[in-house]
Structure 1
């Protein structure tokens, strides 16, 4: 597995495991986590919000019981205050909440440090200096090795690029949702790496695209009509496997890890196989660029700089 390094020296496997959809039963989750590590996936991405902490706890138990903590890079996120008794979630990027969040996450993950700690969202109205100072303090204390943000808001991204020492930005990024392309130059100029979530666009960029499109996207998405998405997918599918085309597309950018979710071992192994096919193939940038032209050029319309 190829390893990419952030400017702080955090080694991220080029293909990462997005843990959000892990089963909540430990034994089932263990199968997926073991399969990931057996296939040299060393980056595991979670958040305190996922299943209200249970996701972190499942990962922590697996790593402790198998003595694998030193073999993986853990990414987690903070900023959402959740109520254990109902579905209420409120945004809280305060120093107090972040400091409480890291302590709770460390306990659940059975570790004394988190490799990559990210702000799980963010608005331009936040006290961003307080957020940055808090993350820097956690880094100095050795509780985290590096920090980043998970955001699709250009104004928030711009601020942290200019005023913080973030290592990474996590954002949805794929052939269909190609909005991050407009931010690449500014991200790369600060030596920041991208964590690409949603690389297969909820299954649209897989060989099951027809059923996914009919089941989940009858009204279209991102201002794209059902018909335009279907035409692009049908045409692209004639040139190769959609998953592999999307992975190949992302590899053209400063993407440190393509973070793919998996709710079953079979799904994970299928995704890994397609990723490895891309790594072994001779698909060139010209082919990828031709495929990219099939999809509409999208731009962020809200929260602009």
Structure 2
């Protein structure tokens, strides 16, 4: 499995990581999948305290027991919730960030986090205070590096300007090319890596994707436009690749992207995701053709 440097850090992450939000409900199955991924060369696992209100972190912590030194562990915080209470609210305060990371460490059964990420955020946040929290956690040795998970260009620019983030997690796929317009080149120029989530567009960009297209469509694609695009991609891209592999290789083609984190709730999904690592890179002609077939979406609402 190819590994890429995450920003200016000394973290080298497998180009295909594991987004754990979709781990199966069965703890036994979840632990099996995580260990299968590690055995197949995955060293990058992304989770969040909010996923199933802490349960996913707890399961991941059990799965990596005895293997902590083999993986790069990423989690997120900022969505304030308390065990036993319903609901959550956005809280990027210094006090909560520092409280949340310690609780994540307990659930993950670790004494440090490799990559700690702000799980969202707006331009109205107390950004300086949030950055101060991250910097103090680095100094205290609780986290090694930090980043943000955001699709808001204005927020991302503020953190690039003011902080030492090494990564930005954002949704990026053939169906969601918004990062291309104003973010990918900017982040590459500033030595900040992209972690691409949602590379197969909720399964739409897969060989059985026609069965996964929502009736209301996806982003600014109607359901019919999704069907047309899937059919065209199957017809015109390299037949040696599954469509999901084409989708994963597409997001990895941009030099700003260090890793993509498709999820998997079943073993066959996991194996298919990992096989994309051995799939042929897209040619320049294929990338151009995919761009001509798909929409050059732009960030409009999320600023």
Moved over 6 A (4+): none
Q: Which consecutive unaligned segments of at least 5 residues does structure 1 have?
A: none
Which residue of structure 2 lines up, in the alignment, with residue 184 of structure 1? 184
Which residue of structure 2 lines up, in the alignment, with residue 25 of structure 1? 26
2:220 to 220, 223, 229: 223
Deviations 1:252-284 (A, max 9, x none): 2111111010111221012112x1342xx2641
What's the secondary structure of 2:64's corresponding residue?
helix
Deviations 1:157-210 (A, max 9, x none): 111111111000001100010001021121112100000000000000101111
Give the direction of change, closer, same or farther, for the CA distance of 1:8–1:28 in structure 2 (3 Å limit): same
Deviation of 1:288 after TM superposition, in Å, equals 2.2
Give the direction of change, closer, same or farther, for the CA distance of 1:226–1:48 in structure 2 (3 Å limit): same
Which residue of structure 1 lines up, in the alignment, with residue 72 of structure 2? 73
Deviations 1:24-82 (A, max 9, x none): 33211111011100110000000000111111111111222xx1000000000000012
Q: Which consecutive unaligned segments of at least 5 residues does structure 2 have?
A: none
Deviations 1:72-110 (A, max 9, x none): 000000000124335411000011111110110111111
Give the TM-score normalised by the residue count of structure 2: 0.94
What's the secondary structure of 2:293's corresponding residue?
coil
Q: CA RMSD in A?
A: 1.3
Which residue of structure 2 lines up, in the alignment, with residue 148 of structure 1? 147
CA distance in 1, matches of 2:91, 2:13: 28
CA distance in 2, matches of 1:57, 1:79: 18
1:258 to 240, 257, 260: 260
